[in-house]
Amino acid sequence: MNMLMSDWVTAVISFLGLAVNSALLVMVYRQLTGLGNQVEIGRAQNEAGLRAVELDHQRRRRQATIDFYAITVEKRSSLGSFLPYDRDRASIDVFVDQIGQEHNEKVRGLMEYLDLFEILATGVRLDVFDIEVVEGIATSQIRDMANFYRPWIMERRDFLRDRTTAGSDELYCEIFELADRLTARGEEYSRSVESRRTAAPN
């Protein structure tokens, strides 16, 4: 009888232990599940926060690009009395022949204008300014300026080199690089459009 009672008590204790362990496991599982959910929520909130910061940075960069480009427009307007239209090659050829390389008011004005575009191009390369904005508002202008003023800039480099001016070989190199980059982006876009057109069903 005592043996049966002892077995019964042992069975009850084992059952209670199993029940307690099961309850503990359920509690731990719920805690881990809740922690996992909190981690997922935290990750989602963190990603959303980073995305918001990225979008704000992009918006500020684009606005800064527009603001700086507006400065070049204002400078162009202030030099309008003698500076030819950026895309008028014939007038630019006549203009640079007339002003030569000696430091005078027109040379100084042209260099101040080109300096602004050199800064703009440098800003694009360093990701300070947004290339998509520049591409949208000034692609043809920058390409024409790089092309039409190239002979004068090359002569200017020689002129400064003869006077041992440091860095003369890199004069306005950023403008040329940006013009090449914009040209490449335009060609890539054209190929993409053509590829989609040819791939579209008739």
Query: Domain segments of the chain: what residues?
Result: 62-199
Q: What is residue 199's predicted lDDT score, i.e. its pLDDT?
A: 74
Copy the structure tokens of residue 114. Answer: 């080109």
Question: The tokens of 195 are what?
Answer: 């590829």
**Quick one: pLDDT at residue 55?**
85
Q: Cite the beta strand spans of the chain per DSSP E.
A: none
The C-alpha atoms of residue 138 and residue 6 are separated, in whole angstroms, by 94
Name the CA dihedral angle for 68, 183, 180, 81, rounded to a multiple of 10 degrees. Answer: -50
Series of mean pLDDT values for 10-residue runs along the chain (202 residues):
53 52 60 65 71 87 94 91 92 94 91 96 95 96 96 93 79 96 91 76 63
Per-residue model confidence (pLDDT) at position 62:
94
d(CA 194, CA 49): 38
| pTM, entire model | 0.73
pLDDT (0 to 100) of residue 52: 82
